Amino acid sequence: MRQNKNSLPVAPLLVAQDLSAIGSLSLQVALPILSAFDLPLAALPTNLFSTQTEGFNPPAAAKIAPWLLATFHHWQQQKLTFSGLLLGYLGTNDLVAIIQQLVARQSLPTIIFDPVMADQNALYPDLPADYPYHLAKLLPYATVITPNLTEAQLLTGITVGTTPTQNEQYQLLKALEQKLSAHGHAVITSVVQQQQIGCIWLTHGRLQFSGYPRLPGHFYGSGDVLTALLTGFLQHGEGLPTAIKYAVNGTFLALQQTAHSQRERRYGIILSDLLFATGQYLRGGQFLTK
């Protein structure tokens, strides 16, 4: 059941992701999506890039770690609190350690963690080989995690095929949930089943799937859209299964609009149809139910 405006969090939701000057993904999609949910936000860029890291030459990057440490110190002085955290791409072991300090100090009711680091059975370029080991140190703080299939394998050490069996899916999810906070949930994205692509999770120990028809080509930032939507619906009081299904449907809407546009895919996801649908949801309508 969604919350009314009077019961929404007053403290800002902290959104910690990379920010690309060119490319509608990560922080550039999370902020408008979560703003459409009427949520107060605090933006924390964990990296600053000239372009997104795929589809262009290697981007120019700013050294942001000193600013992050100064920002955390300032927040502590001001006694600022947050209603939760949406955490995405970090990219270095040092940044993982800095964020771990933040979440250890803050008493955050919810942490939605997208452990962005790999796809198609390989780490992203320029990530150190031991990055999954360091990133896994954040799992005990997480309420919900949204790794893709490759990331789930790296975090658990369990290897499965490109189309894992239901037993393999179950084992991955159970292994992930054992690494999370009490009552934490794992949602694995980018799982293909019967010409659909979507998410798997466990409800009372039973494997669940929600997906949409596969569209041709690659969409940069689709996982960022899904995790932002999931966070918005959870913040509005939806249960996890409903929030996942709504997030899957909303992601498909945005991908359809992007697929039908003339925009080059490397520039990211088009959000206007999705933001309109989110506004209808806030006004009491159903969200893209099938």
For residue 7, pLDDT over 80 is answered with: no
Please count the other Cβ atoms lying within 10 Å of the Cβ belonging to residue 89: 22
- Tell me the CA distances in angstroms from 4 to 15, 236, 257, 283, one per residue in order: 22, 8, 29, 10
The 10s digit of each residue's pLDDT in 222-268 is 999 999 999 999 999 999 999 999 999 999 999 999 999 999 999 99
Tokens (6 digits) for 250: 């909303």
Burial class (CB in 10 A: 0-12, 13-18, 19+), 257: middle
- Phi then psi for residue 243, to 5 deg, are -60, -40
What is the pLDDT, as a whole number, of residue 106?
Answer: 86
Q: Which residues in the chain belong to E strands, given as ranges?
A: 13-20, 41-49, 61-62, 84-87, 111-113, 118-119, 122-123, 144-145, 185-186, 188-193, 196-203, 206-213
Digit-coded pLDDT (tens) for 125-154 = 889 999 999 999 999 999 999 999 999 999
**What is 11-278's CATH number, 3.40.1190.20, 1.10.3720.10, 1.10.10.10, 3.40.1350.10?**
3.40.1190.20
Report pLDDT for 194.
87
pLDDT tens for each residue of 171-218 = 999 999 999 988 999 999 999 998 899 999 999 999 999 999 999 999
- Report the pLDDT value the prediction gives residue 105, as an integer from 0 to 100: 87
Q: Determine the Cα–Cα distance for residues 281 and 212; give it in Å rounded to an integer.
A: 20
User: What is the percent of the chain where pLDDT is above 70?
Assistant: 97
Q: Are the C-beta atoms of residues 177 and 169 closer than 8 Å to each other?
A: no
The pLDDT value recorded for residue 242 is 96
For the chain, helix (H) and strand (E) counts, in that order, are: 9, 12
- Nearest residue to 274 via CA among 287, 285, 286: 287
- What the block records as the tokens of 258 is 């992007």
Confidence of residue 14 (pLDDT cuts 50, 70, 90): very high
Averaged pLDDT, 54-63: 91
Burial class for 234, CB neighbours closer than 10 Å (0-12, 13-18, 19+)? buried
Q: Is the pLDDT of residue 1 over 60?
A: no
User: Domain-by-domain residue ranges, the chain?
Assistant: 11-278
Contact partners, residue 169, CB within 8 Å, separation at least 6: 160, 188, 191, 200, 207
Q: At what angle do helices 222-235 and 240-259 cross, to 10 degrees?
A: 140
Distance CA 112, CA 228 (A): 9
Closest CA to 135 of 184, 96, 183: 96
Question: pLDDT at position 5, please?
Answer: 58
- pLDDT of residue 290 exceeding 80, the answer is no
